[in-house]
């Protein structure tokens, strides 16, 4: 299967299929390395596979089957073969498979920096529900972006899945959807990896325009870009003030896909700060390094939108993606501490710290959604707070929602995709802007008003800041008609100096769940 989505040629192509199909495809290529990995529960399937499919003796795999070793390797006739098992121990806050271990195994073997030639990877799993998560784990281990003087030669990694459960099977349609999702994870990670002298708001818009023109327009997707002074003129005070200090103007990008039978509307809003100096509240002591990744939320939103549309997942709801693109730069035009700005919601914000800029962009994004798109569901995603890691760790994003149902949908989507998440505290009575971000001269400040509230569940209060700009307010309160979720993925968005493509799988699986929910509602209405 070829990459149907992007004209960008990656040095490493990753193609997914069933195990037998992957072996057949690899037989026609010049494969120099083979990796056979099995969940521990499936280890007894390895002897037959390596003997019948790869022509190796049982003795090779015996130390793994006997539990003596977790991996074995051999080299013969320019072919490197590795076989290994990985743990199937999963606590309740992990996913359906140990994707972290799969990524680690692939990164150390067939996707290692010095790896050359085509490769075959076969992963043995217990059931078909694990395949998407395993595939996205492989995708995370195969980055696209590189500016090394001696790049890797073009190569293909053939990835196949063997399922132990005899009642489970992988259809061609399922494989195709997995391929799209995995390609999108790799592309989102590529965007996060791009340096700020290459990816800025203007070049980011150009990138989105090209994907739209090449792939999305054919599916009826519309594209709107509000850019530069037009943002100021139309009242997007958050976006304009954050981005006006840069030589490249800020931009609000709106992608919309409305299928003929759509009865609901879902909006995803992504923070896209292509580089964050902190503004005049300058980041110091090395904390500015890696701030190219501060657009990870928008990358996840964009590529999840692409995957959802191209797989025709959303039939019962219109899907909109809003990308809030800006660079938080330092110049004589930069916005200042003590400025009071007016967001697109009409509410005023006293600036207490220019390094709390992401929420100012998101407030305009969610306000646009509420004013123009009549959403039933709004999900915003951002690399928003350093406190996220203290709240939910390095691998789990922090999420909060006004809806217990939506919170559960997103948590389940995280487990199915491997984009793990855990709830933040939803308590607007204690953490709302009127409680912790009050201002004597404006509707609110952009960070907590006193020092004790800086450590008072600040990731949660930051999410509630965004929610305070949604209208009408009653719709977005707990128990209201609208469902809202905030995803803070500051730390899961990157790992070991690379983007992870976090958010693509999470939102894609969320879209699948929402389609199931809304299609049932639509069918009931049609029957009546």
Catalytic residue chosen out of the listed positions 283, 475, 498, 517:
283
Per DSSP, which regions of 298-360 are E strands?
A: 317-328, 340-342, 348-350
Would you state the structure tokens that stand for residue 229, as one six-digit string? 């002074």
380/401 Cα distance (integer angstroms)? 10
Catalytic-residue membership of 283: yes
Would you state the structure tokens that stand for residue 248, as one six-digit string? 């490249």
Would you state the structure tokens that stand for residue 112, as one six-digit string? 């290692």
Could you give the dihedral angle defined by the CA atoms of residues 361, 366, 370 and 375, in that order, rounded to the nearest 10 degrees? 150
Reported for 514-523, long-range contacts at CB under 8 A and 24+ positions apart, including other chains, are 514/264, 514/266, 514/314, 514/317, 514/377, 514/409, 515/313, 515/314, 515/315, 515/316, 515/317, 517/409, 518/263, 518/264, 518/316, 518/317, 519/315, 519/316, 521/263, 521/264, 521/316, 522/261, 522/263, 522/316
Catalytic-residue membership of 186: no
Give 153's DSSP letter: P
Asked if 503 contacts 299 with a C-beta cutoff of 8 angstroms, the reply is: yes
Catalytic residue chosen out of the listed positions 359, 395, 494, 522:
359
Alpha helix (H) ranges present in 14-108?
19-27, 46-52, 58-65, 99-108
Beta strand 222-227 with 251-257: parallel, antiparallel or unpaired?
antiparallel
Asked if 64 contacts 151 with a C-beta cutoff of 8 angstroms, the reply is: no
350/353 Cα distance (integer angstroms)? 9
24/20 Cα distance (integer angstroms)? 6
465/428 Cα distance (integer angstroms)? 10
Enzyme catalytic residues: 283, 359
């Amino acid at each position: 299967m070829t990459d149907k989505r992007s004209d960008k040629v990656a040095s490493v192509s990753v193609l997914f299929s069933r195990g037998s199909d992957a072996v057949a495809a690899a037989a026609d290529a010049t494969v120099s390395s083979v990796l056979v990995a099995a969940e521990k529960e499936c280890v007894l399937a390895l002897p037959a596979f390596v003997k019948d499919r790869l022509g190796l003796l049982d003795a090779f795999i015996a130390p793994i089957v006997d539990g003596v070793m977790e991996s074995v390797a051999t080299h013969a006739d320019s072919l490197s073969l590795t076989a290994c098992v990985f743990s199937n121990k999963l606590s309740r806050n992990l996913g359906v498979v140990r994707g972290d271990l799969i990524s680690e195994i692939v990164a150390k073997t067939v996707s290692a920096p010095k790896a050359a030639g085509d490769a075959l990877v076969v992963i043995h799993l217990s059931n078909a529900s694990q395949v998407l998560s395993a595939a996205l784990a492989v995708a995370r281990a195969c980055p696209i972006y590189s500016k090394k003087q001696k790049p890797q030669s073009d190569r293909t990694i053939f990835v196949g899945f063997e399922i132990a459960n005899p009642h489970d099977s992988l259809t061609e349609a399922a494989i195709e959807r997995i391929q799209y999702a995995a390609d999108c994870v790799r592309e989102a990670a590529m965007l996060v990896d791009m340096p700020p002298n290459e990816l800025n708001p203007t070049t980011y818009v150009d990138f989105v325009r090209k994907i739209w023109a090449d792939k999305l327009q054919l599916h009826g997707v519309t594209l709107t870009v509000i850019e530069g002074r037009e943002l100021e003129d139309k009242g997007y005070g958050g976006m304009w003030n954050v981005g006006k200090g840069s030589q490249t103007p800020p931009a609000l990008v709106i992608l919309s896909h409305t299928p003929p039978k759509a009865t609901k509307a879902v909006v995803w809003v992504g923070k896209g700060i292509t580089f964050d100096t902190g503004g005049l509240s300058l980041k110091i002591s090395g904390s500015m390094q890696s701030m190219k990744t501060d657009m990870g939320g928008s990358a996840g939103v964009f590529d999840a939108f692409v995957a959802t549309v191209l797989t025709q997942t959303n039939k019962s709801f219109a899907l909109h993606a809003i990308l809030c693109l800006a660079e938080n730069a330092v110049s004589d035009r930069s916005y200042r501490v003590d400025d009071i700005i007016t967001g697109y919601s009409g509410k005023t914000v006293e600036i207490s710290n220019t390094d709390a800029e992401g929420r100012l962009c998101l407030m305009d994004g969610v306000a646009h959604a509420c004013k123009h798109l009549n959403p039933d569901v709004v999900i915003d995603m951002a690399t928003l707070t350093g406190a996220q890691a203290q709240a939910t760790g390095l691998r789990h994003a922090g999420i909060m929602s006004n809806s217990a149902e939506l919170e559960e949908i997103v948590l389940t989507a995280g487990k199915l995709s491997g984009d793990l998440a855990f709830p933040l505290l939803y308590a607007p009575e204690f953490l709302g802007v009127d409680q912790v971000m009050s201002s004597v001269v404006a509707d609110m400040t952009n960070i907590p008003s006193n020092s004790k509230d800086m450590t008072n569940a600040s990731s949660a209060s930051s999410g509630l800041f965004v929610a305070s700009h949604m209208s009408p307010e009653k719709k977005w309160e707990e128990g209201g008609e609208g469902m809202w979720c905030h995803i803070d993925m500051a730390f899961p968005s990157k790992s070991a100096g690379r983007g992870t493509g976090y958010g693509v799988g999470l939102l894609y699986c969320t879209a699948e769940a929402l389609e199931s929910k809304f299609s049932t509602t639509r069918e009931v209405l049609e029957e009546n």
